[in-house]
Amino acid sequence: MTHLSIARHFLLSACAAILLVTGAVHAAPAAGEQIRVDASASGTPFPHFWEHMLGSGRASLALRDDYRRDLDAVHQATGVGYIRFHGILDHDVGLVQRDAQGKISYNFSYVDQIYDGLLEHGFKPFVELGFMPPELTSDPAALHPFWYHPNIAPPKDYAEWDAMIGALAKHLVERYGIDEVASWYFEVWNEPNIGFWTGTPAQASYFTLYEHTVRALKAVSPRLRVGGPSTAQAAWIPDFLQHAHEAKVPVDFVSTHVYGDDTADNVLHSDENVPRRDMVCRAVDKVHREIAASPYPQMPLVFSEYNASYANLPNVTDTVFMGPWLANTIRECAGKVEVMSYWSFSDVFEEQGIVRNPFYGGFGLIAANRIPKPAFNAFAMLHKLGDKRLVVDSDAALATRRDDGSVVIALWNYAPEVGHTASYTPGKPAGTPKHFSIDVRHLPAGAHATVWRLDATHGNAVAAFDRMGRPNSPSREQIVQLREAGKLAAAKSMKVSNGKFEVTVPVQGLVVVELR
């Protein structure tokens, strides 16, 4: 709710407190919000579903040093536990060989190095089973246009596919133990409803692939956790679950994908104009309701890819726009999904080819040359939220409590991106600073606040990159400068009087306040 007169009153009477938070004097904001939080309320469970898993570039990239360094950075800053990537069955991983006599054999060398690396760096695999090994394909010419051209055809012989899946599962269990591998996820294929599957008809042929795969995995151990259909645009879920029910096919979780610029026509089958800020959670809500109406109303839901855009838009995924976008997405989706996997954790990534510019609109939280993006800082800040959600009457705030009694509040000022093309558009987003007057009741006496900020002048490597002239190949010295500029800004202390304090958030800014 907006209370203009209250906001103006606090601006005049508490400007000293504002200066402590912002470090600068702002023009009077056009609007403000009064936020009331009860620190003693029981709250509702608030698991960190957005940091359970992250996506990444194809499997073979996990062998690179810069990939693993980015893994370490993510591990230190967030609670992410799983990594998902395409291509564990691709030719460059080398799992399948066929000799001159047509005999199939398996080489697990790179598979082991890839999964060993994830585990050694603190992550578990979310195993996307794809794409088709060329040795097994029904169509050697069925190559996806990604730079590395994976094969996307069905297998020529399902007996060979089944044997490969069984051999892989058996090897993983023998190497890592069933207790470990049973904690992983196995997802069958990637986006078979669009350009990643040439089986015809697409849905029926994918269901055949799923049945063969899940039965081969469960034959090794019924404890292995298997799901699908891993569709784009939140598609096929009712049909998939109905088919599984009728055919008595095991399903342990449902997975699908959505992006902020997917269209309502494709996702919701409507002619609405759904803005980027809402599309992801509109899709989550749709699938949540579809599962509730299915034969499996308690089926876990995994959005194994999501982001604000499926394209390379430098004004979106590279900029501070992502702070408010991510915070609002968490607010809207909470309670409707078990896992959401941001695509992706790093711009060690080659779907469109070798990176030519560190800020080209890549999907990663970390740009090339290990430069943290604003989105990385948003994840680090939102990691500080507690696991109990407290009621707050606002669409620009989240209030939580940790087990130790600390209250953590996220506040943001969402505004659309400046440009939405593959070319970077310089300029300032439209809008005005947003003023929050916060009253946290039942805080312990002597509580103090720590404040983290992400905005145009805090934790924003892009601003430094702009000043450099956006070079395609920054010098080693410039890379050091960009890494420093991209670091999460140092926290500031703030006085709290009887649970009351003031915060002003710039346009496209995100603030996290911890009250102890």
User: Which of the residues are catalytic?
Assistant: 191, 305
Number of neighbours of residue 402 by Cβ within 10 angstroms: 15
* HSE, side-chain direction, 13 A CA sphere, residue 47: 10
Helix (H, G, I), strand (E, B), or coil: what is residue 367?
Answer: strand
Token pair belonging to 391: 């009621």
Give the C-alpha separation, 215 to 128, whole Å: 16
Q: For residues 516 and 406, is the Cβ–Cβ distance under 8 A?
A: yes
* Residues whose CB is less than 8 angstroms from the CB of residue 472 and which lie 6 or more positions away in sequence, other chains included: 356, 357
Give the C-alpha separation, 413 to 390, whole Å: 20
Determine the number of helices (DSSP H) and then strands (DSSP E) in the chain: 14, 22
Return the DSSP state at 500: E
Give the C-alpha separation, 323 to 377, whole Å: 8
The residue whose two tokens read 């994908």 is: 257
Return the DSSP state at 297: T
Strands (E), 198-265: 226-231, 253-259
In sign, the C-alpha dihedral spanning 355, 260, 305, 52 is positive
Bridge partners for 340 per DSSP? 303
The residue whose two tokens read 């959401």 is: 340
Q: For residues 406 and 386, is the Cβ–Cβ distance under 8 A?
A: yes
Give the C-alpha separation, 467 to 238, whole Å: 50
Give the C-alpha separation, 228 to 240, whole Å: 8
Amino acid type, 230: S
Amino acid type, 214: V
